[in-house]
Amino acid sequence: MKLYDFKTAPNPRRVRIYLAEKGIEIPLVNVDIMQREQKTPDFLAKNPVGSIPVLELDDGTCISESIAICRYIEELHPEPPLFGRTPLEKAVTEMWLRRVELKVMLPVGQVWVHGHPLTARMLKQIPEAAELGRKRAHLGYQLLDQQLATNQFLAGDNYSVVDAVALSTIDFAAGLVGVPYDEDLKHLKRWHDTVSARPSAEA
Ligand SMILES: N[C@@H](CCC(=O)N[C@@H](CS)C(=O)NCC(=O)O)C(=O)O
């Protein structure tokens, strides 16, 4: 197996954090998305969407979409469970995965695409879309803070794939996009400090 990756991109980092939590090492292949290497014919044959991460199996089968990759690994290596163990835990994990994706990652991505100088050459940016994304991202942060007021981790008492996804999203938002959460959100801050201190955060 090999994982097509790019160090500063948030979606591949989700998978790297997840793998680190599992204690699994997979060789990484760098795809420089700033140089558009994800749009070459060779790469589009692996993932027609032209994005990373992609997991390539030894028989050449390619799996794209970060969560699909993590789910595949989860089936192969169920311990420790990072998608929940019981039916309820699995449902709650899925619920929060969707919320982090739709309420935080999507608006942050909107700010990145429509408001950042690095992406300006890729499309005609719409500043109002960036502004709306910024507002929606802050609403998403509030939702996470509310959940973390009564839960140690985003899907409950145990670290899960949701924490890996949220950490990579929030670090990308603060570091590259310029949409940090407000530190008054003290539960989110407590969680962020905790998950950032885990060795997997280095991934
Ligand atoms: N939903 C996909 C998103 C993949 C994605 O947008 N990856 C970004 C890097 S974080 C990318 O490849 N961007 C370059 C492009 O789309 O051309 C996933 O979860 O893997």
**Angle at the Cα of 69 from the Cα atoms of 22 and 45, rounded to 5 degrees:** 145
pTM: 0.97
Which ligand 1 atom minimizes the distance to the CA of 10?
10
Cβ(156)–Cβ(82) below 8 Å = no
The count of C-alpha atoms lying within 13 angstroms of the C-alpha of 123, restricted to the half-sphere facing its C-beta, is 11
Which ligand 1 atom minimizes the distance to the CA of 36?
17
Question: Over 90: is that where the pLDDT of 144 sits?
Answer: yes
188 CB less than 6 Å from ligand 1?
no
Which ligand 1 atom minimizes the distance to the CA of 109?
6
**CA separation for the pair 150, 141 (Å, rounded):** 15
pLDDT, tens digit (0-9, with 9 covering 90-100), for 48-64 = 999 999 999 999 999 99
Q: Tokens for 15?
A: 């998978």
**CA separation for the pair 23, 123 (Å, rounded):** 39
Q: Cα separations (Å) of 90 from 82, 85, 86, 186?
A: 9, 6, 6, 27
Distance between Cα 78 and ligand 1 center (Å): 26
Confidence label for 33 from pLDDT (cuts 50, 70 and 90): very high
Q: What is the DSSP letter of 100?
A: I
Collect all residues with Cβ–Cβ distance below 8 Å to 50 and sequence separation of at least 6.
38, 39, 43, 44
Residue nearest to atom 13 of ligand 1 (CA): 51
**CA separation for the pair 53, 4 (Å, rounded):** 5
Q: What is the pLDDT of residue 146?
A: 98
Confidence label for 121 from pLDDT (cuts 50, 70 and 90): confident
pLDDT, tens digit (0-9, with 9 covering 90-100), for 172-185 = 999 999 999 999 99
